[in-house]
Structure 1
Amino acid sequence: MQTYPIPMVPGPVVVPEAIRQVYLEPYGSGDLEVEFVELVTRTQRRLKAIFGTRDDIVIQSGEGMLVLWSALKSCLVPGDRVLAVATGVFGYGIGEMAQSIGAEVKTLGFSYDETINDMARIEAAIAEFKPRMITAVHCETPSGTLNPLEELGRLKHAYRVPLFYVDTVAGAGGVPVLADDWHIDLCLGGSQKCLSAPPDISFLSVSPKAWEIIDAVGYVGYDALKPFQHAVENRYFPYTPSWQGVAALYAAAGLLLDEGLENSFNRHDAVARFCRRRLVEMGIDLFPAPGAVPSPTVTAARIPQGFTWEAWDRRLRAEGLVVAGSYGPLAGKVFRLGHMGSQADKELVTQALEVIAATLK
């Protein structure tokens, strides 16, 4: 398998040695052991700190898309109204996911280069549509944008919308997440972005109201949330969990909390500002529109004039730099640098920018 000395893909990111070593440890009989239950409990406490919540944390074995589906299937029945506030590939996609399981979806769409704004329009939609669930994406990685969620959460609370569903897979740990203050009922995360662990674990916070709805819906499936509600206290998990994956997540969350969340946020913000400034100085156009909030965890820029995505990607790889393209309507138009987690490192980003500058010449 080809590896590159300058990895800048926005997840999975480079896994630090301390986390890789976790996978070499012997773990006995997994969830049959009381030590595993204690590990899950300690990991949940760390994730609560990262999410800014007192709500329960569910940890599932699988990549981040698992919890996106899990939360929808466990909380919705056909005919439920879902207001999808969408600014990018994942925001629109979550609305389509909800629609596929029978929900009545109203998509309140913005341009892919925008972030959530026009709160009067959103408030009018909530008042008229009366949704059971509002969905939003915190960090739209395909667009390199970060959606402000505080005001949306306030509207959810004011209009007594039962559920607020937020995908912060690419935000948590790199930017502030205040799930309780923002009235988030289902806050979704993954291991392979700012936490810098392999892409084998996903997790989410679940509010008391969400548990009430999950219990009433009674969804049964591999991705169901209901069996996890009492899994720890009963020492009985719905399927064999990944001991190594949970141990790696525990270690990854520990590294982040040892650094200090505020220090991590500042590190991501400083590296992102440096990256964007240097790209603009090179004459490369950033993708987010003026007035949109750029993400501190990923920078999206337009592919330079004279290059196709395939040619641009090939030239950068030839110099040891691997970046990412984008998806949906942005495919072939945008490239992305993932300065998140272990890759939110100024020296690494400097190397990447030097390759880009040289390639432009």
Structure 2
Amino acid sequence: MQTYKIPLVPGPVSVPQKYREAYLTDYGSSDVEDEFFALLSDNISLLRRVLKTKNDVAIGSGEAMSALWGAMKSLVGPGDKFLTISNGLFGHGFGEMAEALGARVEYLEAPDGEFVTAEQTRRKISEFGPDFISAVHCETPSGLLNPLAEIAPAVAESGAIFIVDFVASALGADVRVDEWGIDIGLLGSQKCLSILPDIHATTVSERAWKRAARVNYAGYDALLPWKNVLKTKAMPYTHNWHANKAMNLSLKDSLEEGLENGFRRHEEAAALCRRRAKEMGLSLYAKDEKLSSPTVTAIMIPDGWTWEELDAEFRKEGLAVGGSWGKLAGKVFRIGHMGSQANAELVKRGMDVVEKVISKKL
């Protein structure tokens, strides 16, 4: 493992010392201590404020993918009609998960670097009649922030359960769970929360709970056992007290900064990144800059370079960025300006390195 002078990987992000210190306290057992349940309750209240929801929030241990799989297995079953709205790896992955669970899946795919329109969404819903609709707010591998508010009315009219991944957008961009009609919303810790990848949160609407009760999935990652955990104080497993404390610190810091101020900080870091990239003659993956995420920017790898060569040169200069996966593997590199890394000075230093490196082949 190596620590880099200029950390701009799009998650897991650099963890501030204040949050790392939360792991140094020798906490008791989360199963029996009232103090832990007070902390858990506070985190739930803070997340409701941040995500603009009155829905329940289930906080569990594990990286964000465990929340995603747990929610899918808790609600989706054989024969269910599942519509995946996709313009990237994670969006498409929702459908693949649903297929693995026996659902009848159809995909509404957007062209490269774009997102589907409300009319396309309505038409597909009318043709298919889905029980579930999934979408990703921030497609991290492609640096796109998808305008979910534009398709939300069509989803609401359909009556389908709406499942949304906002792992890489929440706290870096506005997320409105109730206004957008999100029944299941997924949040990870290692992006804008800027803590370790060991805790997650799921927002759950009442009708999503009813669906979970009908499916009654009983796996270790099941969602249903978290429904009344604050009342029963009977958790499905021993919780991560340390991570909950770190989450509490991060959420309070975000609210103290002010959500709008935090969004502005992310937008300014992103705008600087995109401006510098274009000044170097580099191309963004996003076809419309309005779709560029404030938390991560995907830049096309310039002619004459491979990702492996570029990555090696960046690392020599102390810069760590991300590559990508799927069809974008080897085609883009990504700057992660999210959470603790949404810092204009840090991004400037990173882009200075990018300019220095690519100039070697101009």
TM-score, scaled to structure 2? 0.98
Residue in 2 that maps onto 1:278: 276
**Partner SS for 1:31:** coil
Total equivalences in the alignment: 359
Cα distance in 1 between the residues matched to 2:148 and 2:120: 15
Amino acid at match of 1:230: N
Residue in 2 that maps onto 1:154: 153
Cα distance in 1 between the residues matched to 2:141 and 2:131: 27
Residue in 1 that maps onto 2:169: 171
**Which moves more between the two structures, 30-39 or 307-316?**
30-39
- Are 1:336 and 2:350 an aligned pair? no
Amino acid at match of 2:79: G
Residue in 2 that maps onto 1:142: 141
Cα distance in 2 between the residues matched to 1:93 and 1:265: 27
Cα distance in 1 between the residues matched to 2:33 and 2:333: 45
Residue in 2 that maps onto 1:293: 291
Residue in 2 that maps onto 1:19: 19
Cα distance in 1 between the residues matched to 2:212 and 2:150: 26
Amino acid at match of 1:223: D
Correspondence 1:72-151 to 2 at 5 A? 72-115=72-115, 117-151=116-150
CA contact (8 A) 1:193 1:341 kept: yes
Residue in 2 that maps onto 1:195: 193
Cα distance in 1 between the residues matched to 2:137 and 2:349: 28
C-alpha distance after superposition, 1:139-168 (max 9, x if no partner): 00000000011132211211222x100000
| Aligned-pair Cα RMSD in Å | 0.9
Cα drift, residue 291 of structure 1 = 6.0
Cα distance in 1 between the residues matched to 2:68 and 2:50: 18
CA contact (8 A) 1:113 1:292 kept: no
CA contact (8 A) 2:282 2:302 kept: yes
Amino acid at match of 1:61: S
C-alpha distance after superposition, 1:39-72 (max 9, x if no partner): 1000001111111100000001000101111111
Structure 1 residues not aligned, in runs of 5+: none
Cα distance in 1 between the residues matched to 2:297 and 2:270: 7
- Runs ≥4 residues deviating over 6 A: none
C-alpha distance after superposition, 1:259-292 (max 9, x if no partner): 1100000000111011101100001111111366
CA contact (8 A) 2:60 2:199 kept: yes
Residue in 2 that maps onto 1:186: 184
Amino acid at match of 2:28: G
Cα distance in 2 between the residues matched to 1:291 and 1:256: 26
**Partner SS for 1:57:** strand
Residue in 1 that maps onto 2:262: 264
Residue in 2 that maps onto 1:219: 217
Cα distance in 2 between the residues matched to 1:198 and 1:123: 39
Amino acid at match of 2:72: L
How many percent of aligned residue pairs carry the same amino acid? 47
C-alpha distance after superposition, 1:3-46 (max 9, x if no partner): 11000000010111111110001211222101111110000011
**Partner SS for 1:221:** coil
Correspondence 1:40-79 to 2 at 5 A? 40-79=40-79
Cα drift, residue 78 of structure 1 = 0.4
Residue in 2 that maps onto 1:39: 39
Residue in 1 that maps onto 2:307: 309
Cα distance in 1 between the residues matched to 2:36 and 2:87: 39
Cα distance in 1 between the residues matched to 2:171 and 2:341: 13
Cα distance in 1 between the residues matched to 2:102 and 2:235: 28
Cα drift, residue 112 of structure 1 = 3.6
Cα distance in 2 between the residues matched to 1:148 and 1:166: 12
**Partner SS for 1:301:** strand
Structure 2 residues not aligned, in runs of 5+: none
**Partner SS for 1:270:** helix
**Partner SS for 1:173:** coil
CA contact (8 A) 1:88 1:111 kept: no
